[in-house]
Amino acid sequence: MKLTVEALRTALLATADAIEQQKDELTDLDREIGDGDHGINMSRGFQGVKKELEVQNSLADLGELSKLVGMTLIKTVGGASGPLYGTAFVKFATKWSGMKSVEGEDLFAGFKEATEGIKSRGKSQAGQKTMVDIWEPFTASLQADSTLEEVIDQALVDTKDLVATKGRASYFGEATKGVQDPGALSSSILLKNIVEVLHD
Ligand SMILES: Nc1ncnc2c1ncn2[C@@H]1O[C@H](COP(=O)(O)OP(=O)(O)OP(=O)(O)O)[C@@H](O)[C@H]1O
Ligand SMILES: [Mg+2]
């Protein structure tokens, strides 16, 4: 499995479109167990990314591309999820600096660093019903012989039945059980679009 600059760019543009399509769904989930802004936040962020990608056509490597995406998300998203997604991409940039494509250990190292970055920025860990519950199993499965789409789908199923103990959703306590975490859903959209462009 290999991730190139062009492939990541394609995945990000596809994510921006998918977020637009699922914007209302993301917002509705956040209305149930949050403050009803996740779709709006993610839309603002990824439309910002799309605009940057359309004007910048000289992104030399995965480090430059990831850094641009991270900074754009931090600047535009607002809400808890902005700095968290932004951190993930800034962490990709630190691991993939100067690289035009990554595979194997380098691919894994980027996702490991990104997941650890989200956890340390959010002071969170797996099992608290957040985006970490998608990023962590996804990252672990990069080193296993598993189908990545299935890992993401299973992680979404598992996350849905957790009780939120972190972030705004934690105020809703037991009522969060059985409702999908909006950040878990948006993370699955992003990661599935990245899986789509990984090639042998
Ligand atoms: N501490 C955290 N660690 C990891 N993920 C988190 C944390 N806090 C929130 N999240 C994720 O962010 C998502 C909510 O993002 P959203 O864009 O709605 O921000 P918000 O919680 O409304 O922020 P704010 O309270 O600043 O308005 C959650 O569904 C969850 O997945
Ligand atoms: Mg919210």
Residue type present at position 137: P
pLDDT at 75: 96
Q: Provide φ and ψ at 175, rounded to 5°.
A: -65, -15
pLDDT at 165: 98
Provide the b/e sequence for 149-160 (b: ≥16 CB within 10 Å): eebbeebbebbb
Could you give the count of Cα atoms lying within 13 Å of 23 in the half-sphere of its Cβ? 12
pTM of this prediction exceeds 0.95:
yes
Question: Are 195 and 20 spatial neighbours (Cβ–Cβ below 8 Å)?
Answer: no
d(CA 41, CA 46): 9
Residue listed under structure tokens 């605009």: 51
Q: What does DSSP assign to residue 199?
A: B
Domain boundaries, the chain: 2-197
Is ligand 1 within 6 A of the CB of residue 133? no
Question: Are 37 and 79 spatial neighbours (Cβ–Cβ below 8 Å)?
Answer: yes
For residue 87, the CA-to-ligand 1 centroid distance in Å is 13
Written as six digits, the tokens of 186 are 């948006």
DSSP letters, 150-165, are HHHHHHHHHHHTSPP-
Which atom of ligand 1 approaches the CA of 130 most closely? 31
User: Which of 22, 25, 38, 76 for a ligand 1 pocket mutation test, highest count of atoms within 8 Å of Cβ?
Assistant: 38
pLDDT in tens, the chain (200 residues): 999 999 999 999 999 999 999 999 999 999 999 999 999 999 999 999 999 999 987 788 999 999 999 999 999 998 899 999 999 999 999 999 999 999 999 999 999 999 999 999 999 999 999 999 999 999 999 998 789 999 999 999 999 999 999 999 999 999 999 999 999 999 999 999 999 999 76
Is ligand 1 within 6 A of the CB of residue 79? yes
pLDDT at 200: 66
CATH 1.25.40.340 matches 2-197: yes
Provide the b/e sequence for 103-131 (b: ≥16 CB within 10 Å): eeeebbbbbbbbbbbbbebbebebebbbb
pLDDT at 146: 85
Which atom of ligand 1 approaches the CA of 37 most closely? 18
pLDDT at 9: 96
C-alpha to C-alpha distances, 101 to 60, 161, 190, nearest whole angstrom: 11, 37, 19
pLDDT at 156: 98
For residue 57, the CA-to-ligand 1 centroid distance in Å is 32
Question: Are 110 and 116 spatial neighbours (Cβ–Cβ below 8 Å)?
Answer: no
Question: Could you tell me which of 188, 185, 175, 184 has the C-alpha nearest to residue 32?
Answer: 175
d(CA 123, CA 15): 26
pLDDT at 58: 79
